[in-house]
Amino acid sequence: MIDVTIADEIPDLLSPEFAADPYSAYRLLREHAPLLWHEATGSYVVSRYEDVRRAFKDDLFSTENYSWQLEPVHGRTILQLDGRAHAVRRALVAPAFRGKELEERFLPVIERNSRELIDAFRHEGRVDLVSQYATRFPINVIVDMLGLDKADHDRFHRWYTAIIAFLGNLSQDPRVAEAGMRTRDELAAYLVPIIRQRREAPGDDLLSRLCLAEVDGVRMTDEEVKAFCSLLLAAGGETTDKAVASLFANLLDHPDQLAAVREDRSLIPRAFAESLRFTPPVHMIMRQPVEDVEIGGGTVPAGSTVTCLIGAANRDPEHFGSPDTFDLFRPELDGTTSFSAAARHLAFALGRHFCVGALLAEAEVRVGVNDLLDAMPDMRPAPGARRVERGLFTRGLEALPVEFTPVAGSSSRSGS
């Protein structure tokens, strides 16, 4: 008999009540059901910080579950790999997302895309930060980094939206599954011929670098390059999209902290880190134990799926003071380590599968927040606007309309 605590008063993960307010349910889970068997998803749910952190870092937990969760739409990526295979392929892709390569080669791409989006609305005095900026900015950056056709931005936006819906399709809606599989085929038909062209005639872009990168005599196959691009478009687009909008929503809800960031832009990384803790774009990640494991006060059998609730762990009062309060000055977080494997929040996971694009996300948010504050120094919520958050696997705002007094000129900040 598996020792699992069940609390009937907790809204089901797939219920409208949970969707409307997951944070209240997270508190009940942490307090009364730190290990919960969820029949509909066939998974064991953990919600306390230490348990989620352990599932990310302990070698007893693998990513084998991604073979059914991710592989159907992405193909096999670094997320499904462990050991040397993972280390080598991560080494093939990681250099583009950190240090000199990121700052010198791709920061200008980030700055240009942010300016172009802002220049389209900076004179209007009103903007929906979700539809007119946040959902476009990261996907445009990734398309440009890969050296793909900017005319296809809308197509890539549609593709990544379908992929993310597939990954979060815990209720197994057949229409969502069909759209995800169709997107996989369309994306492969688009990317594979371009990958082959770049191998023959490489350019100065990320896709060419992925095609030519070699570590210990290993290069990625066409399928592996395609799979990584698919993962980058979906994960890099969706998470940064939601993170940008949530950050501004949190700052608008706390005018004193918004004013502090406006006056001292060095606070942007701290504000971003706190927003990732308070309202993470990814609320759950799954793992699979390689042997029977004791966690959350019970036993999870080898080969089971463990659903790790990041949104619950990031508000665990055992690790964060006043966890339901947004406070960019909180002592538990800082802007230096929050985008590395030493992060206290769990929004980027931890361990060997810590998000390879964390520093790219930080650079995008740093540039975007600077540019938006310059263009809208008196940004304020649009009167009567009602905020709605949606999503279970990933979660974010449907819209964030704001008003501002237009500032003459065009975007020119370097993003520093």
> pLDDT tier at 409 (50, 70, 90 boundaries)?
low
Partners of 305 in the beta sheet?
43
Q: Are 43 and 392 in contact (CB under 8 A)?
A: no
Q: Residue range 221-250: average pLDDT? A: 88
Helix residue ranges, H only, 107-235: 107-119, 137-145, 153-167, 174-200, 206-212, 222-231
Q: State the chain's mean pLDDT as an integer.
A: 88
Classified as helix, coil or strand, 301 is coil
> pLDDT tier at 1 (50, 70, 90 boundaries)?
very low
Residue with tokens 């592989």: 71
Q: Residue range 290-319: average pLDDT? A: 96
CA nearest to 346, candidates 312, 321, 323, 318: 312
Whether residue 2 has pLDDT greater than 50: no
What is the spatial distance between Cα 350 and Cα 47, in angstroms, rounded to a whole number? 15
Least confident of 166-180, 266-280, 282-296: 166-180
Whether residue 220 has pLDDT greater than 70: yes
Least confident of 11-25, 48-62, 142-156, 304-318: 142-156
- Which of 87-91, 154-158, 248-252 has the largest mean confidence? 248-252
What is the spatial distance between Cα 186 and Cα 295, in angstroms, rounded to a whole number? 41
Whether residue 6 has pLDDT greater than 70: no
- Element housing 286 (H / E): strand 284-289
Burial of 301 (0-12, 13-18, 19+ CB in 10 A): exposed
Q: Which is higher by pLDDT, 83 or 288?
A: 288
Q: What is the pLDDT of residues 344-358, one digit of tens each?
A: 999 988 877 777 778
> pLDDT tier at 163 (50, 70, 90 boundaries)?
confident
Q: Which residues 6+ apart lie within 8 Å of 162 measured at CB?
A: 179, 180, 182, 183
Task: Give this prediction's pTM.
Answer: 0.89
Q: Between vectors from CA 349 to CA 346 and to CA 352, what angle results, nearest 5°? A: 140
Question: b/e for 339-372, b at 16 or more Cβ within 10 A?
Answer: beeebbbbbbbbebbbbbbbbbbbbbbbbbbbbb
Q: What is the pLDDT of residue 289?
A: 95
Domains of the chain are: 4-375+384-402 (1.10.630.10)
Q: Residue range 330-343: average pLDDT? A: 81
Least confident of 12-21, 156-165, 331-340, 382-391: 331-340
Q: What is the pLDDT of residue 414?
A: 41
Whether residue 381 has pLDDT greater than 50: yes
> pLDDT tier at 31 (50, 70, 90 boundaries)?
very high
What is the spatial distance between Cα 271 and Cα 253, in angstroms, rounded to a whole number? 13
Looking at the chain, the whole-number percentage of residues with pLDDT higher than 70 is 92
Q: What is the pLDDT of residues 108-126, one digit of tens each?
A: 999 999 999 999 999 999 9
Whether residue 10 has pLDDT greater than 50: yes
Residue with tokens 């005599």: 217
Q: What is the pLDDT of residue 158?
A: 86
Q: Which residues 6+ apart lie within 8 Å of 262 measured at CB?
A: 373, 377
Q: What is the pLDDT of residue 416?
A: 40
- Element housing 285 (H / E): strand 284-289
Q: Residue range 141-152: average pLDDT? A: 89
CA distances to 69, 106, 165, 166 from 300, rounded to whole Å, are 19, 43, 28, 26
Cα torsion 33, 35, 37, 41 to 10°: value is 110
Cα torsion 162, 43, 46, 73 to 10°: value is -20
Question: b/e for 146-177, b at 16 or more Cβ within 10 A?
Answer: bbbeeeebeebbebbbbbbbbbbbbeeeeebe
CA nearest to 211, candidates 232, 190, 229: 229
Q: Which is higher by pLDDT, 100 or 292?
A: 292
Q: What is the pLDDT of residues 51-92, one digit of tens each?
A: 999 999 998 998 887 777 777 777 776 666 666 666 777 777
> pLDDT tier at 7 (50, 70, 90 boundaries)?
low
Q: What is the pLDDT of residues 255-270, one digit of tens each?
A: 999 999 999 999 999 9
